[in-house]
Amino acid sequence: MKDKLPALSFFSGCLGLDLGLEKAGFRTVFACEFDKNCQQTIKKNKPSLPIVPDILDCDRFSIRKLAGLSAKERPSLIFGGPPCQAFSTAGKRQAFTDPRGNVFLKYIDLIGELLPDFAVIENVRGLLSASLKHRPLNSRGTELAYLDEDEVPGSALNLVLNRLKNFGYKYSFNLYNSANYGVPQIRERVFLIASLKGSKPPYIAPTHSDHPEFGLPGWVTFREAIKGLRENKMTFTRFPESRLRYYRMLKSGQYWKDLASIDLQKEALGKSYFSGGGKTGFLRRIDWNRPCPTLVTSPTMPATDLAHPQKDRPLSIEEYKRIQQFPDSWNLAGDITSQYRQLGNAVPVGMGQALGRTLRLLIEKKCPSKIPHGFFFSRYKNTDEDSWSFLYKKTACCSKDSQLSLTF
């Protein structure tokens, strides 16, 4: 492999994406991270890496100076995952009217100022359908006013894409399941790759699959991921006894619906039993022989429990590290709550490495890895830039409630 290429990291967190890209031949020379505990984590593990706390304080001159880049030197890569809460389907969907959305636009502006060869945006699925201005569902209907252009689902991403095009970038994006890249976790996130030179970037070729017909190795299981960890070395929070009572009735891979009777299920879930949705995160024991579900920022929240397959406890910090593919020796700053949050927010190292391999092939002008015919990158449809663009244009042109048809 040639010398490692300089890369600028934004919204760096505890450096999951950085570690993966480094495995593929990149070298982080600048980091930007607002969270103080994440800053301390970076300093513990990479003491020489320059860190700027607030992206709003960044400009191309200060970044170049801190990163050791000359005035004319173009960075090979800028990458980052702007805060996703503004776009999350679980949030208020405020998009760019949320202060966290503003830092997203600042990130895009810095791409335009620095003009790296490649830029990467990582985000939640909600980015695909987020609008610049959100109209509550109870304010929509056939008898109400048309949606404004900024209220059309997908208008936030459309703004980002138009800015990238104006800077001269070609791009591709898709919703990728990390389990398809050797990560012991079913975690679906959008990755957008923008290229300043050449043609539209290819998709990230999978290395694993849950379907034997594609001829790839099977998904990595939770059992494989935590092999060698010792129970007496685990650090974890605890479930309340009121929840443990039901966990003792469940086995690996089971959840509340596997409780012995309807009465027990109603008792265990309380009022949540009558709420909508599948409620698959309640009283959930990890399956030994499957990848872990998406790691969350706390494994003990009632609706997103992450319990050990056998032990009466949530997943530990050490298990979180393995599932996110951090080294066992990776030092995390802050209390246990902060450590769970840092790891839960991180990009899995293996996903970053797969992304990095794709970028290296483009840089070295080599043929991209082949993607098996008919391969699905995630559970959802219409998540690539071509089908998304078709649906967005169709949605934006329609009137009244037909504008709400953009779904993924």
Active-site residue list: 84
The length of the chain in residues reads 408
**Contact by Cβ (8 Å): 48, 85:** no
Q: Radius of gyration of the chain from Cα atoms?
A: 22
Whole-number Å distance between alpha carbons of 74 and 171? 19
Nearest to 202 by CA among 390, 15, 371, 396: 371
- The amino acid sitting at 232 is N
Whole-number Å distance between alpha carbons of 38 and 58? 18
Helices (H), 180-335: 222-225, 241-247, 262-269, 317-324
* Dihedrals phi, psi of 282, to nearest 5 degrees: -80, 135
Helices (H), 213-346: 222-225, 241-247, 262-269, 317-324, 336-345
Nearest to 299 by CA among 312, 283, 310, 315: 315
Q: How many CB atoms lie within 10 A of CB 143?
A: 6
At which residue do the structure tokens 């967005």 appear? 392
**Sign of the dihedral through C-alpha 141, 147, 150, 152:** positive
Burial class for 154, CB neighbours closer than 10 Å (0-12, 13-18, 19+): buried
At which residue do the structure tokens 């502006």 appear? 109
Half-sphere exposure of 5 (CA within 13 A, CB side): 25
Distances (CA, A) of 56 to 103, 105, 329: 7, 10, 32
At which residue do the structure tokens 């109400």 appear? 144
Nearest to 80 by CA among 346, 377, 407: 346
